[in-house]
Amino acid sequence: MSLQKLIAGNLDYLEADAIYASVREGTTKNGQKPYAVIVTCSDSRVPPEHIFSAGLGELFVIRTAGNVVGDFERGTVEYAVGHLGVKLVVVMGHTHCGAVGAALHAHAEDAPESLAVLVEEIADAIGSERDELTACKLNVRNSVDRLLESTLLTELSEARELMIVPAIYDISSGKVEVLA
Ligand SMILES: [Zn+2]
């Protein structure tokens, strides 16, 4: 049933708008030139292309539960910055994040092994903080720090050739707040 829903949705997309076809053709022929990297949560309420009114080929997106960053995610950002020349990375957490909630309520021990590692990463980032929104912000800042474990990303940031911006998306209002 869910698969049929996806296939039907793809047919709608194919029939939707001729502009998609021309953008697909152009980006296939000329390659992608996304203007930003978005590192965010896999939560279904946080789709970057919707939130930023962006289209095909515009955003280079990495999503994990709780927008955590490890080697694979950092490597993906290095690719976007180093090979595609993207100069803006937004690390965007969100309100009511289930992964942050799990870390706040110490559910790591109940989780399957890989998920437990992920929740522990968030738990370490938020420490003794109990306020959910503040915890989300601390988790975003931790992901920024994890990106900066990359020599490439650190050097470009220090040379002001790359901006790495922390942000929080409010899933109720739809507003993105850039964190100072
Ligand atoms: Zn989340």
> What spacing in Å lies between the alpha carbon of 130 and ligand 1's midpoint?
17
> What spacing in Å lies between the alpha carbon of 63 and ligand 1's midpoint?
10
pLDDT at 17: 76
Q: What is the pTM of this model?
A: 0.95
13-60 per-position pLDDT tens digit: 999 877 888 999 999 999 999 999 999 999 999 999 999 999 999 999
> What spacing in Å lies between the alpha carbon of 10 and ligand 1's midpoint?
26
48-75 per-position pLDDT tens digit: 999 999 999 999 999 999 999 999 999 9
Query: What single string gives the DSSP state of each residue in the chain?
Result: -HHHHHHHHHHHHHHH-HHHHHHHHHHHHH----SEEEEEE--TT--HHHHTT--TTTEEEEEEGGG---HHHHHHHHHHHHTS---EEEEEEETT-HHHHHHHTT-GGGS-HHHHHHHHHHHHHHTT---HHHHHHHHHHHHHHHHTTSHHHHHHHHTTS-EEEEEEE-TTT--EEE--
